[in-house]
Chain A
Amino acid sequence: MANITQTMSLRAPRRAVAHQSLWRRVLKRPEAGALGGAILVLIFFSIMAPPFRQTSAFMTVLYQSATIGIPAVPVALLMIGGEFDLSAGVAVTASSLVASMFATEVAGNAWAGVAFALMFSIGIGALNGYLLLRTRLPSFLVTLSTFLMLQGLNIAITKLVTGNVATRDIASMPGFSSAHAVFASSIRIGSVNVSIAIFYWLALVGIATWILLRTRAGNWIFAVGGEGESARAVGVPTRKVTVGLFMAVGFGAWFLGMHMLFAYDTVQSGAGVGNELLYIAASVVGGCLLTGGYGSAIGSALGAFIFGMTTEGVIYANWDADWFMFFVGAMLLIATVVNFWIRSRVSRGY
């Protein structure tokens, strides 16, 4: 009898503890705060802007989010690994330019340009990582330099090669239609067109999350960003991890670059400047720490989603265009404050 009551009284609280710890586990995830912010912005614009509630509008928002979110995924991984990449914004444009010019001026086939640009972009990433390790300068400085150099090279080389500052229209090139189908097509679902970029974005988030949480490489990334010296001491190949992360950012830039090229056919060589901050902002809003060692890929997606909803929502709400950037900034501030409020409540244990 005494035995039975004991087991019963043990069992009941145990279930309660298990339940609470699951709830707490969700809230303790780095992206919990961003999820709260995203829901808040979603509700806000759903009330303020009637057109925002249409499915087609939601797809426009998702598309805008995907074009920030695709590079933001590797940028988030890199930040978890303790480094910055300021060159990611212009690297996207550099990749489209390289693909376009290699295809039109050298190879005569769009896919050759795609392949060449992939090598180029990953090479830029590797160069960033290598320079960082060799010079031991902060990544902020190293990638600021590559950012500025790429910005200049984008314009100068384009002008040197094509005589103009925008690349030629590649829409009539062999291989264009298949490359367009792969990188920039839209899929009709019901009554709305859904850009393929949105699916790639979600897939990238899934893969990155799996790597971070389920693989040894993921553990290494957290270790390198959290405590690099200790990580090295216990045998984590920190240099390989850092260079690999920069190469992943190169890959992300290439991927978006290919979408931009095949979706818009020509590339203005001055494009992309300033976007690197959006990628970093999406990661930070999504819970990555500026100091490294903490964050998530899903968070970067939520950060990009908050930004996409805000920029488009201001238009759907038909607010005065002169105030556009102010509204965007104010909404981001509110979303971020909510984000940090939730996180601090969780870490204090409610």
Chain B
Amino acid sequence: MKQIQTLTLAGALAVSAAVLGGTPSYADGQMKVAMITHGQPGDSFWDIIRKGAEAAAKKDNIQLIYYADPTATKEAQLISNAVQQHVDGIAVTLAFPDAEAAAIKEAQAAGIPIVGFNAGADDWKKLGISMYVGQDEVIAGAAVGDKLNAEGSKSAICVDQQQGAVQLEERCDGIKKTFKGALYVLYVNGYDMASAKARITAKLQQSPDVDYVVTLGAPFAPTALDAVGEAGSKAKIGTFDLTPRVSDLIGEGKLQWAIDQQPFVEGYEAIDLIWLNKINGHVVGGGQPVLTGPTFVDKSNIAEVAKFAKAGTR
């Protein structure tokens, strides 16, 4: 018993020492900037954002702290946490603008510059934030709607992996805006692929006339492909965002396209804009969002993108 406790304690100490040892010390003159997202832990997309942010932080000599929580109240709490640490800037995704409003006011009251990014294209100005980096999700959705019309789709499914997240709803709304056919929204549960596959299969069996599946998260596109095969459906598949596997499948012609918001750029610019603001008072964008997308990746340009996707930075 005692032995175990000592062992556990020693183990815990070793782990925390390793973790703490990994972060650079806060030297004089080095800025400390917090990046706070609503990313689900272990999601490739958010990892690419983080890699972009780390690249900018390294170049600008910034100590980057990265926090993420996919729930509204916890993301808001993380903002307060960063304010209490007296960071020099905060880059934050505005996925839950109402929940985050109070914490953002707190940061503004403390004089900390804030850049919104990735989510909240409609809300950043209302929150008194002066810069925003990202893709306008409604515009991106509308571009997908146009694409579906051009390919002659009559009926499509929009696969949403995080019910209640504003920017995903906006994508679906954008598609509805321009798409002339019928659009169904289907929610799947986090990253449980077996359950996602079963639900997409079920939807395709329930609506056999569906001819297009659009996944709002790239990890779900290969699963949708399985489901289409399982249901014996003829539906084609397009997705938001990229993963190495998605870029392979586009190259093989099994997926039609991916709409890329260039998450690396989002992470990079969000940090870089804070740096510009701190060192020289710049406000970039002229009151408009700094747009990182949408761009379509399909068979015609996949070769160029694929080599970066392999390295996990696209």
Contact = CB atoms under 8 A, between A and B. Distances in A.
Interface stretch (A109-117, A151-159, A236-244, A282-290): A151-159
Interface string A241-259: 0000000000000000001
Contact of B195 (A67, A166, A193, A269): A67
B100 to A, nearest CB: 22
Contacts, number: 132
B230 A193 contact: yes
Which of B42, B191, B232 is the most central at the interface, judged by chain A CB atoms within 10 Å of its CB? B42
B31 interface: no
B202 A312 contact: yes
B231 to A, nearest CB: 7
Interface string B218-240: 01001100100011100000000
B205 A316 contact: yes
Contacts of A186: 230
| Number of chain B interface residues as a range | 35 or more
Contact of B192 (A136, A269, A272): A272
A244 to B, nearest CB: 20
Contacts of B195: 64, 67, 311
Interface stretch (B108-116, B117-125, B138-146, B182-190): B182-190
- Chain B contact residues, majority secondary structure: helix
Interface string A132-169: 00111000000000000001001100110001111011
B194 A165 contact: no
| Number of chain A interface residues as a range | 35 or more
B102 interface: no
B230 A274 contact: no
22 contacts: A51-B205, A56-B231, A57-B205, A60-B230, A64-B195, A134-B1, A158-B42, A164-B312, A165-B43, A165-B44, A166-B243, A169-B248, A186-B230, A263-B197, A265-B245, A268-B191, A268-B219, A269-B41, A271-B190, A274-B189, A274-B192, A308-B198
Interface of A: 49, 51, 54, 56-57, 60-61, 63-64, 67, 131, 134-136, 151, 154-155, 158-159, 163-166, 168-169, 186, 193, 259-260, 263-266, 268-275, 308, 311-312, 315-316, 318, 321-322, 324-325
